[in-house]
Structure 1
């Protein structure tokens, strides 16, 4: 027993160090340090005069002018292209005169993240109140950056949501400690995403602040969607942000143990200039954002005039088991209202039990509504473990729920992606496993997924993928890598979360329609009941499921013998939480083959000409079969119990 005491003591020391927070005295001291160093001087005597004109901001003025107490007017703009979504953000930040509120799940220190951060700081310095709220697990990676931002300006404040172990950053071993001591808290994340300008214009949707979401990654980008809303409904978004900002889970960065101790030891560091991987691209974005004609032509001209807009959102009290109608309840009620068609887009097709019960009941209706699902293929997804569960339940989705499923291709032929902006054709050095950078005259180990120049060298490129469900990212480095493909290119993965009901209601939000959104994450969405808007949103989703961009999933050909036994054993295996090793699956992927006898549009899986006009391309098309395919099979067999957290 004696020999275990040193190990037990070491483990206890690690646990105590992981959980060590600032004392009340240290909190007062660090607040004083920050208050003393925060500048309050303004770069502009009159913020309204220094704000840049914005056709997007003008949409709000029109909306308020045209609104009546019982007949509100709004303008809605679907942001499909990543570069347009970034352009809208930069332009709106520059137009702000009083307040900017930003809430997000991921805020990275790559090119797009630093560009937005610089614009926010510039707004604060000209007199705009800027508040930034980021989920702790996905916040800015460097403690030095957070320390610098804590005292950047009197008008600028950053808070982190639900900081595990009272820290801004946690290492792998600290994550293990957190998972052991407080897994439920660790798993409860803020997935809500908002950008609010002067209480008049808001943006919400799937995008975080990272190059992958704005077509700025040279190897992998998300096909995502945001919605810009201008008009009275932004007041509801503002109130929701305020609930999060004032919640006890939202902690000023200087009061977190690692940031606070850094400030007490070394004072407030300067925020070093960012070394852009592609400076010309960032400068072009700044230039376009300052050009009102460009913003009007690319963005504002496409805005759709609509009536009432409803914003649905989970509050922070969802984590306390708050008894109220959640975003999941609201979305299920919308789906249940469908008469003839549900058009659903989600990157991760893993349904919660309430959602499965709902779709089973809808399947029994007469007439039953068609449910069309757009989601990721294994080749396109950023979360192959999650895909494995989707793969496991394909028979259930197709046969029991009546879904028509389309899986996004990794190299879509007609996607709203700005390939030229990715920089894929630019020469770059091979990625390194780690680099050393100089910060405050000290050598700091920093992962190479950030493009940090070393001794004047060419900026290094970060690894191409960062999973959104970061609560599982510490399991191993391997699970966060994409599956290998048979060919090279800029890979695209679906990340949009949208819904269209009967061509009359359109929904854009943050909810993946999955168990995490039901149980753990806070989510939000904008609901617009307007035929013109619903048609535009449906057209965007239908473009994603076109043959050039997606494979269709359908029943595979029956085996020549014992087909009934094969089906029955596959169904039994699917129903088991483990040991699902039956080698064949009910469904596989099909590619449309147009021709004189098969003109577009392609026939649906239940139509007689389907097999004549489609060819099977296997369960995992475009994937170079290897270890990841084996892992997919393993998680198909054993991973059902992980569904709630994945």
Structure 2
């Protein structure tokens, strides 16, 4: 074979065509029906409990829902709201509620992994189905359970258990890299249209929503990288709105039963329903301890129920599947519209927490108008540093627009550290630390040596880039080792009277591509509790403050003008000196408390620590600057 022959287009075109044909092959109507029958025939119809309450465990969390509904009247709703800051608490609440279900459980999520946390929750859901509870699980395609065999086994697990997949591109439950490339070529917009909502609803009276998916790193169980996240538990009449939203996605045109998907259906037709293997936990003792704690009502009452706040009206704002219709592309989605209205209503302060500070043009206009008011509200932003983020390309875009954020919008930005000293995290739970105790009862954590590594693919929320060859959505290398944390919470407080916890990252993806949801609570006590939580993440122990770097001694006006012109360019933003940098608070006799960057004494109490503190300067730092210069066009999908 000559080189010329080897390079002939037919030599590489044929495999591509074959791949396209195989990837686009769908099940015939007859095959779909047979696959569904195979699954249905294998499903167990035996319920392990004959009691009317499905042998549900009593739960003080579920009791909040019963109490809230009993206290409510038409026009006078009563709710209980509980912030779930700690990952361990959030997992504890989920397990306790699942065991308390006596009628139905609806679970909606973007990511559902087969690691320890995922297996633990899945096991509880199946146990609930076997005792007579109707269990429905809805997962976005790009981050569904890892193995086709697992999905095939769940298709035939029990008559009370059903799992569906939202928006299965190419008609499959899973797509590999070549299929992803094909999907990107043929259906780029649909590939990016994802169901980003998260909801656990038990018996229609208690719901949990927020940033957390079902994967170890959302519950402090990963030995390498974990998310500092936040959920909110809501008990009361607003759960009816949650249920209606779930129903809309469950019956949507883009939602498919797993047995009728190409890869799962063919597996069922070829070999029948495989057995579901027993859980294989990486850390069995940790999983057993969590399962045991979930049955401890006194512990649940002490750690969770005692912190629940009585509140009045609660609003659940959520997008519907029709957001993904072409006829709706120019409309402002319900979640985006609701959040913008709240921000526009601010009079004194907007407290915003988002992991990815990339704003749509409409959001930029909104914040610019706020700042141009005669008496503008203070806008404080909690977001990730480059050292903490799991999406360095997204960070590069926020890095590009720091001048705009600080000067034109008046933001006060605090970037989360990868090793926060005082955040609501559980280092012991990661399994990467040994723990000993001082005489005064305080813990001492000792790092257990482990091989560092990047994120697993399922952990990447920005799935449009998850397959990129340069690890676009992995944390950057750091100058020192250790388990790190990255911010993932999406929350907002308006004037310390309205608190918002949801799934929207306040970014273009949430505006246009992802379906999102949020809980809005107009209550001063709840707003203060949420504000305190966000301010804790912004404290000097947990975050660096972003402020303008010192002006050069000469030609400062010229330098500023050139940097501004460079920033305005969609590409070739190559000016080497950025407007802002990171600062570390240095307490002392003259600096007892942190100061805002606008305070005259700021530079006496803060020292600059560079644009990318804690980062091991190398390829990722270079790539960050490259995407700052050339990546503005990626903003809509980031």
Pick the TM interval, shorter chain. Answer: over 0.9
Aligned to 1:437: none
1:516-554 alpha-carbon deviations (Å, 9 max, x no partner):
000100000000000000000000000000110000000
Aligned to 1:624: 616
Instruction: Report the alpha carbon displacement of residue 357 of structure 1 after superposing the two structures with TM.
Output: 0.4
2:497 is equivalent to residue 504 of structure 1:
yes
Aligned to 1:137: 142
Q: Distance in 2 between matches of 1:131 and 1:325?
A: 26
Aligned to 1:406: 414
Q: What's the C-alpha RMSD, in Å, of the aligned pairs?
A: 1.6
Q: In the alignment, is the contact (CA less than 8 A) between 1:167 and 1:256 conserved in 2? A: yes
Q: In the alignment, is the contact (CA less than 8 A) between 1:74 and 1:309 conserved in 2? A: yes
The equivalent position to 1:528 in structure 2, one of 521, 530, 540, is 521
Aligned 1:496-575 pairs, distance under 5 A: 496-575=489-568
1:564-622 alpha-carbon deviations (Å, 9 max, x no partner):
1110011011000110110101000001111001111x111111100001000000001
Cα gap change, 1:592/1:429 in structure 2, threshold over 3 Å: closer, same or farther?
A: closer
Aligned 1:105-116 pairs, distance under 5 A: 105-116=110-121
Q: Secondary structure at the match of 1:229?
A: strand
Aligned 1:125-524 pairs, distance under 5 A: 125-320=130-325, 321-322=327-328, 323=331, 325-425=333-433, 466-476=459-469, 478-524=471-517
Aligned length: 618
Cα gap change, 1:431/1:177 in structure 2, threshold over 3 Å: closer, same or farther?
A: farther
Cα gap change, 1:360/1:430 in structure 2, threshold over 3 Å: closer, same or farther?
A: closer
Instruction: Report the alpha carbon displacement of residue 466 of structure 1 after superposing the two structures with TM.
Output: 2.6
Instruction: Report the alpha carbon displacement of residue 428 of structure 1 after superposing the two structures with TM.
Output: 8.4
Q: Distance in 2 between matches of 1:77 and 1:484?
A: 36
Q: Secondary structure at the match of 1:208?
A: coil
Instruction: Report the alpha carbon displacement of residue 168 of structure 1 after superposing the two structures with TM.
Output: 0.6
Instruction: Report the alpha carbon displacement of residue 463 of structure 1 after superposing the two structures with TM.
Output: 5.1
Q: Distance in 2 between matches of 1:137 and 1:354?
A: 28
Q: Distance in 2 between matches of 1:142 and 1:351?
A: 36
Q: In the alignment, is the contact (CA less than 8 A) between 1:431 and 1:463 conserved in 2? A: no
Instruction: State which drifts further: 416-425 or 86-95.
Output: 416-425
* TM-score, scaled to structure 1: 0.94
Q: In the alignment, is the contact (CA less than 8 A) between 1:344 and 1:372 conserved in 2? A: yes
Q: Secondary structure at the match of 1:644?
A: helix
In structure 1, runs of 5+ residues without a counterpart are 434-448, 450-461
Q: In the alignment, is the contact (CA less than 8 A) between 2:54 and 2:103 conserved in 1? A: no
1:81-130 alpha-carbon deviations (Å, 9 max, x no partner):
00000000000000000000000000000000000000000000000000
1:276-325 alpha-carbon deviations (Å, 9 max, x no partner):
11101101111110011010001011000000100000000001143575
Q: In the alignment, is the contact (CA less than 8 A) between 1:85 and 1:214 conserved in 2? A: yes
Aligned to 2:440: none
Instruction: Report the alpha carbon displacement of residue 430 of structure 1 after superposing the two structures with TM.
Output: 6.5
Q: Distance in 1 between matches of 2:463 and 2:609?
A: 32
Q: Distance in 1 between matches of 2:245 and 2:354?
A: 24
Q: Distance in 2 between matches of 1:556 and 1:70?
A: 53
Q: Distance in 2 between matches of 1:632 and 1:233?
A: 42
* TM-score, scaled to structure 2: 0.95
Cα gap change, 1:263/1:630 in structure 2, threshold over 3 Å: closer, same or farther?
A: same
Cα gap change, 1:130/1:408 in structure 2, threshold over 3 Å: closer, same or farther?
A: same
Instruction: Report the alpha carbon displacement of residue 61 of structure 1 after superposing the two structures with TM.
Output: 1.1
Instruction: Report the alpha carbon displacement of residue 9 of structure 1 after superposing the two structures with TM.
Output: 3.1
Q: In the alignment, is the contact (CA less than 8 A) between 2:457 and 2:466 conserved in 1? A: no
Q: In the alignment, is the contact (CA less than 8 A) between 1:47 and 1:126 conserved in 2? A: no
Q: Distance in 1 between matches of 2:470 and 2:309?
A: 43
Aligned to 2:32: 27
1:413-460 alpha-carbon deviations (Å, 9 max, x no partner):
101001111101269897699xxxxxxxxxxxxxxx9xxxxxxxxxxx
1:225-274 alpha-carbon deviations (Å, 9 max, x no partner):
00000001100000000000000111011110000000100110001112
Instruction: State which drifts further: 468-477 or 359-368.
Output: 468-477
The equivalent position to 2:89 in structure 1, one of 84, 88, 93, is 84
Q: In the alignment, is the contact (CA less than 8 A) between 2:432 and 2:450 conserved in 1? A: no
Q: Secondary structure at the match of 2:578?
A: coil
Q: In the alignment, is the contact (CA less than 8 A) between 1:47 and 1:128 conserved in 2? A: no
Q: Distance in 2 between matches of 1:603 and 1:590?
A: 11
Q: Secondary structure at the match of 1:305?
A: strand
Q: In the alignment, is the contact (CA less than 8 A) between 1:372 and 1:403 conserved in 2? A: yes
Q: Secondary structure at the match of 1:527?
A: strand
Q: Distance in 2 between matches of 1:423 and 1:429?
A: 11
Cα gap change, 1:176/1:47 in structure 2, threshold over 3 Å: closer, same or farther?
A: farther
Q: Distance in 1 between matches of 2:517 and 2:225?
A: 26
Q: Distance in 1 between matches of 2:66 and 2:20?
A: 54
Aligned to 2:597: 605
1:324-371 alpha-carbon deviations (Å, 9 max, x no partner):
752101100000000010000000000001000001111110100000
Q: Distance in 1 between matches of 2:384 and 2:618?
A: 19
Q: Distance in 2 between matches of 1:52 and 1:362?
A: 50
Q: Distance in 2 between matches of 1:324 and 1:178?
A: 26
Cα gap change, 1:554/1:369 in structure 2, threshold over 3 Å: closer, same or farther?
A: same
